[in-house]
């Protein structure tokens, strides 16, 4: 539980600004420069991590980092309900599971609804968790295929200036989907599934006119759809089908004065009870810890800018 050379204890100590000392099997937590709340949080983190190890889990430093975040958000949280909620094992034999309250809500929504919107900042696991849920559903035989799509909208660049034919121009937009799949499905198996169209990765325009039966369908980067595109996509849902729509409303690359289809759909479908909506926050970001700090800094700057103009 303490990690190699006590690295896990050092992580807790630095994150919560407390003093932690170990002698044999005993660990002491002191206030240091922090107050009693930090001591309570640190003690809770260590107790919860010990339970995970006692239950047979091998801890990784990222597990400790996420555990600290979860307990800081809610000192009563049970880390076992997050870390033991395994969706899938990745190719490194590490469990894929929710790592924050927002991610847990998102996973629960995908398990209980046929159509789910996952909205939140970059790095909050929207695409990755949806991919894991889809792959797990395919393996259990709940669906027959997975369809992954994104709008081919440029972030400051033009498709026409990219080299190659249309497939080569489109491929960079779909690469993040392939990358996530490559963490869950062995390369040779993935190639066979793509060839047999058990897994299909295609631009959003290729969805028009289709009925997507017995499929798990993921629309990624939905903030870059137009109103007509999101309506077209949602109405493709067929029998025994499931859809997950992910997006970050703060990163819209559409032309000026073009309304995001994601924002429109969330507004129009707000009172449709059978549709799940999970809204994640900067605290749900699971990339490098600096990503959450940078997202929050950009958000604060944006709010201050608009307040100064109003």
How far, in Å, CA of 66 to CA of 62, rounded?
6
Per-residue pLDDT at 129: 96
- Look over the chain and give the mean of its residue pLDDT values, rounded to a whole number: 86
Per-residue pLDDT at 159: 47
Nearest to 146 by CA among 164, 129, 134: 134
b/e sequence 136-175, b meaning 16+ C-beta within 10 Å: bbbeeeebebbbbbbbbbeeeeeeeeeeeeeeebbeebbe
Question: Per-residue pLDDT tens for 112-160?
Answer: 999 999 999 988 999 999 999 999 999 999 999 999 998 876 544 444 5
How far, in Å, CA of 202 to CA of 169, rounded?
12
Per-residue pLDDT at 153: 64
Under the banding of pLDDT at 50, 70 and 90, the label for residue 255 is confident
Residue 15: C-alpha distances to residues 4, 19, 55, 139, 291 (Å): 18, 11, 25, 39, 16
Count of CA atoms in the C-beta half-sphere (13 A) of 202: 15
- In this model, does residue 301 exceed pLDDT 90? no
Name the β-bridge partners of 119.
247, 279
- In this model, does residue 213 exceed pLDDT 70? yes
Domain-wise residue ranges, the chain = 4-84, 96-309
Per-residue pLDDT at 109: 97
- In this model, does residue 247 exceed pLDDT 90? yes
Under the banding of pLDDT at 50, 70 and 90, the label for residue 274 is very high
How far, in Å, CA of 136 to CA of 122, rounded?
23
How far, in Å, CA of 299 to CA of 306, rounded?
11
Average pLDDT over residues 7-20: 89
How far, in Å, CA of 29 to CA of 274, rounded?
47
Alpha helices in the chain (DSSP H): 7-16, 36-54, 61-73, 79-83, 101-112, 126-139, 166-182, 187-195, 227-234, 261-268, 289-309
Beta strand 88-89 with 215-219 is unpaired
Question: Comparing 163 with 6, which gets the higher pLDDT?
Answer: 6
Average pLDDT over residues 53-58: 84
Per-residue pLDDT at 5: 66
Token code pair at residue 256: 């000026």
Most confident of 143-157, 225-239, 249-263, 278-292: 225-239
Per-residue pLDDT at 168: 58
User: Does the domain at residues 96-309 carry the CATH identifier 3.40.50.150?
Assistant: no
Average pLDDT over residues 214-226: 95
Token code pair at residue 182: 């490559």
- What is the secondary structure of 148-179 as a DSSP string? EEE----SS--GGGSSSSHHHHHHHHHHHHHH
- In this model, does residue 230 exceed pLDDT 90? yes
Question: Per-residue pLDDT tens for 20-37?
Answer: 888 877 888 887 777 788
Question: Comparing 248 with 162, which gets the higher pLDDT?
Answer: 248
């Amino acid at each position: 539980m303490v990690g190699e050379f006590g690295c896990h204890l050092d992580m807790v100590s630095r994150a919560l600004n407390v003093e932690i000392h170990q002698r044999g099997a005993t660990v002491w937590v002191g206030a240091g420069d922090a107050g009693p709340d930090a001591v309570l949080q640190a003690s809770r983190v260590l107790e919860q991590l010990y339970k995970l190890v006692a239950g047979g889990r091998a801890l990784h430093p990222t597990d400790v980092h996420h555990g600290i975040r979860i307990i800081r958000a809610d000192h009563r949280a049970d880390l076992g309900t997050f870390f033991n909620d395994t969706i899938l094992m990745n190719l490194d034999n590490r469990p894929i599971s929710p790592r924050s309250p927002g991610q847990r809500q998102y996973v629960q929504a995908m398990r209980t609804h046929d159509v789910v919107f996952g909205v939140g900042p970059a790095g909050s696991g929207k695409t990755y968790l949806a991919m894991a849920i889809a792959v797990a559903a395919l393996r259990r035989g709940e669906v027959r295929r997975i369809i992954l799509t994104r709008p081919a909208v440029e972030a400051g660049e033009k498709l026409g200036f990219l080299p190659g034919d249309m497939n080569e121009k489109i491929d960079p937009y779909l690469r993040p989907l392939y990358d996530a799949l490559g963490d869950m499905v062995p390369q040779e198996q993935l190639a066979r599934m793509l060839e047999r169209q058990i897994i299909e990765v295609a631009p959003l325009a290729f969805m028009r006119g289709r009925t997507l039966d017995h499929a798990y369908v993921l629309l990624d980067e939905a903030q870059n759809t137009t109103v007509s595109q999101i309506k077209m996509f949602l109405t493709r849902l067929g029998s025994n089908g499931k859809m997950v729509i992910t997006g970050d409303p703060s990163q819209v690359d559409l032309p000026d004065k073009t309304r995001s289809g994601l924002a429109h759909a969330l507004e129009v479908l707000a009172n449709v009870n059978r549709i799940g909506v999970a809204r994640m926050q900067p605290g749900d970001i699971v990339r490098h810890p600096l990503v959450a700090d940078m997202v929050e800094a950009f958000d604060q700057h944006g709010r201050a800018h608009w307040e100064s103009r109003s």
